[in-house]
Structure 1
Amino acid sequence: MAEAIHAGDAPKAVGSYPHARRAGDWLLLSGIGPRDPADDRIAGNVYAPDGSLQSYDIIAQCHAVFANVKAVLQAAGAGMHDLVDVTVYLTDMAADFAAYNRVWREYFPDPATAPCRTTLGITALPTPIAIELKCTAYLGK
């Protein structure tokens, strides 16, 4: 059985699943979004008085999602350098891809050592977030 990882420094799961599961030398992370672990707020979101989403800041959400991924990796004894594959879900590919790509380069400046990446444009995510990451890390040496 693969070991479940629950990270105290990452936001609580939106459903009934662990933050990650370790299977041998592999660490598979559940989808991670930019919610704040302390209060569940979403970085960069601005809400109208009726509670509807008025606008969001993709740069703030990108940095928040990377912080949450890092927290889950650290809970498993890993780091960002252990990532080998990342699937990126963006709710507005046309508006947000360039900004996301700039933030990605801050975390992974060297393409030779960066994880593989696939980016998908989707219509919605389960909460009012603009980005979610699905990551796989290799922990073998």
Structure 2
Amino acid sequence: MKVVQTSGAPAAIGPYSQGIIVNNMFYSSGQIPLTAEGVLVEGDIQAQTHQVFKNLQAVLEEAGASFETVVKTTVFIKDMNDFVALNEVYGEYFSVHKPARSCVEVARLPKDVLVEIEVIALVK
């Protein structure tokens, strides 16, 4: 088991790691729209989702993976009415390769953000 840690994504805000590699599989912690410096990106679901994908890209690269090797995503959104707008951004990152996905509406997310995404990916 290997811990994944990069300064290209925000540091964990609790007792967990940005991700873990086990047997060539990378499991990320949920990424929220904080910059690598820990500043919350405000704005609509699309602005926040773009920042989440920047963070995911950083941890995936540190793990030796990429969006093309993601096998599963889990998306947590605060309001299912944002589903279409979220999908527009999501489709920019997963346009050809489309991993399996779950998307659930939740009552509340850390720092009251609108979206959190975690991924499982094959390490190259």
- TM-score w.r.t. length of structure 1: 0.84
Unaligned runs of 5+ in 1: 46-55
Q: State the 1:128 CA deviation.
A: 2.1
- Aligned match of 1:103 in 80, 89, 95? 89
Q: State the 1:57 CA deviation.
A: 1.1
Alignment of 1:53-72 (within 5 A): 56-72=43-59
Q: Percent identity?
A: 33
Structure (1/2) with the larger helix percentage? 2
Equivalent-residue separation in structure 2 for 1:14 and 1:93 (angstroms): 25
Query: Do residues 41 (structure 1) and 73 (structure 2) align?
Result: no
Q: State the 1:31 CA deviation.
A: 0.9
Count of residue pairs brought into register by the alignment: 124
Equivalent-residue separation in structure 1 for 2:46 and 2:4 (angstroms): 27
Equivalent-residue separation in structure 2 for 1:36 and 1:139 (angstroms): 24
CA RMSD of aligned residues (A): 1.1
Residue identity in the other structure for 1:104? Y
- Aligned match of 1:89 in 54, 76, 80? 76
Residue identity in the other structure for 2:121? A
Unaligned runs of 5+ in 2: none
SS of residue paired to 1:120: strand
SS of residue paired to 2:11: coil
Residue identity in the other structure for 1:71? A
- TM-score w.r.t. length of structure 2: 0.95
Equivalent-residue separation in structure 2 for 1:9 and 1:88 (angstroms): 21
Greater than 6 Å deviation, 4+ residue runs: none
- Aligned match of 2:98 in 87, 103, 114? 114
Residue identity in the other structure for 1:16? P
